[in-house]
Structure 1
Amino acid sequence: MSVALESLSSTVRLSSGHTIPVIGFGVAFGFDKAGRDPRTLTKPAVREALKVGLRHFDTARMYNNEDHLGEVIRESGIPREELFITTKVDGTFHGYDTTVTSVNDSLKRLGLEYADLILLHDPLAGKTRRLESYKALLDLRAQGKMRSAGVSNYGVHHLQEIAAAGYEAPSVNQLEIHPFCQQRPIVEYCKAHNITVEAYCPLVRGKLDDPVIAGIAKRINKDSAQVLIRWSLQHGYIPLPMSSSPARIKSNADVFNFSLSADDMAELDALDQGGAGAVSWNPVEAA
């Protein structure tokens, strides 16, 4: 996809046949430096994200803010078909029946008849319950409860067990992805099997003072966060930056009027530290 054709409204097609915006907005807020409850950050942040044109929002049962996201969506007056909403079922609720319950509960809290994408949040429940949960997602999709089914934090062996069970590949695998944690073997498997890769923690949780990143940002007159988001886009990932700052939300979406050179990309690629570079839980090696 050439830079000239890219925009905030650009989409890519998932293996399910549905489209997904090329950039999303993460709403997994933790307590900020002032100690504010993360739920109080969700609504104003989502309003700002909608204001700048973002239409793709990523939440989860464990974030405890599905209801707040749903309220802002309804208040916005934006037609449902113009929005892309993702939520997740964490390992605590894995298993066929509990996954069905979790999905129905999430839809009720969101106030939606369907989600655009539902992910298994982690692979921590073990093989049997993982596969039961994935089968539940496929059945719920057939019932119209979601458009696409996927996974998160799945390593190659987790994806291979889905294939071995005879199930179709997930539409999405959401991973911690940034220059310091590139998850290359998993990404290669996903690309080979038409699994779209979403990148959470694309801004390395605000650790933006690396001299390579800062140097590129200075050279092209952009900020470090914009450089990191652009790196994700140019690798074909769907980044999910998050912020509660209106100015930052706006600048994080302003990444379609420039591109990183091949040399810039190579410099950033060289920062990879494998799993040691993760800044989140990254349970891709779970048994």
Structure 2
Amino acid sequence: MPLLGFGTWQMRGESAYQAVRDALEAGYRHLDTATMYGNEAEVGRALKDSGVPRDEVFVTTKLPPERAGKERATLDASRRALGLDAIDLWLIHWPPGRGRSVAVWREFIQARDQGLTRAIGVSNYGADEIDELTKETGETPAVNQIKFGPSLYDPSTVTAHRDRGVVLEGYSPFKTTNLHDPVLTGIAATHGVDPARVVLRWHIQHEIVVIPKSATPERIARNADLDGFVLTPDEMAAIDALGQ
């Protein structure tokens, strides 16, 4: 699972298709979508038309909580829309109500064991909710995708996931961050990059998966250009402090 992915929330129709094409052209090899985004068909078509080999791209989609009890039909619809025999990662988008989380998770385990998805995980779950799934099934989610960024940084959250062997994946890295904060602008100026790339680099150096989104080709490409600089320990600590 590449640490840098491309998010597609709020993208629909031709703009979603073109953004994914631009992302793949820019070098992204991790695409994040969801049933509720309504763009799986566009994501799948863009992947097919890109010419990038299927086995080089990691694809995530998600089950809406209101589809609890209809897991297999939802997954089959996602696979058809995406044009994929198997999903790389299937997530429970939000904890379903009425204590149905464990029952849904059992269906996820079965789908994985049948080869319909290579890995399974959750999104917007707390550590206690993850522990419930593990306790009841013996299977811990591979990933938990949550809202994350420097202003939300909490070492205990990172540690809680690491201790459980759960990959932490962050969404909305820019919405949750003041990109005009002097700490970020100062570090960005030092490295000759923009603050957005500092935020993405910070995630990657923490080994936290991050899925920025944009519909602008230039920004899509710029966000993928993270190899030319490394944040120092002092810079990482200064960014960490934004969450305190």
Q: TM-score, normalised by structure 1?
A: 0.81
TM-fit CA distance, 1:183: 4.7
Question: Following superposition of structure 1 onto structure 2, how do residues 79-118 of structure 1 map, counting pairs within 5 Å?
Answer: 79-95=53-69, 98-118=70-90
Identity across matched positions, percent: 38
**C-alpha contact 1:203 1:229 (8 A) present in aligned 2:** no
Question: Following superposition of structure 1 onto structure 2, how do residues 190-205 of structure 1 map, counting pairs within 5 Å?
Answer: 190-204=161-175
Change (3 A) 1:205 1:245: farther
Q: After superposition, give the CA deviation of every residue in 1:78-124 in whole Å (9 maximum; x if it has no partner).
A: 221111110000111123xx112211111111111110000001114
Change (3 A) 1:48 1:186: same
Q: 1:76 corresponds to which letter in structure 2?
A: S
Question: Following superposition of structure 1 onto structure 2, how do residues 1-287 of structure 1 map, counting pairs within 5 Å?
Answer: 20-29=1-10, 38-95=12-69, 98-127=70-99, 129-204=100-175, 207-272=178-243
Instruction: For 1:206 and 1:115, locate their aligned partners in 2 and report how far apart those are by CA, in whole Å.
Output: 31
Instruction: For 1:113 and 1:225, locate their aligned partners in 2 and report how far apart those are by CA, in whole Å.
Output: 35
Instruction: For 1:114 and 1:207, locate their aligned partners in 2 and report how far apart those are by CA, in whole Å.
Output: 38
**C-alpha contact 1:29 1:39 (8 A) present in aligned 2:** no
Structure 2 residue runs without a partner (length 5+) = none
- SS of equivalent residue, structure 1 residue 204: coil
Moved over 3 A (4+): 183-186
Q: 1:27 corresponds to which letter in structure 2?
A: T
Instruction: For 2:33 and 2:216, locate their aligned partners in 1 and report how far apart those are by CA, in whole Å.
Output: 18
- SS of equivalent residue, structure 1 residue 158: helix
TM-fit CA distance, 1:215: 1.6
- SS of equivalent residue, structure 2 residue 88: strand
Aligned-residue CA RMSD in angstroms?
1.5
Q: 1:260 corresponds to which letter in structure 2?
A: L
- SS of equivalent residue, structure 2 residue 170: strand
Higher helix residue share:
2
Q: TM-score, normalised by structure 2?
A: 0.95
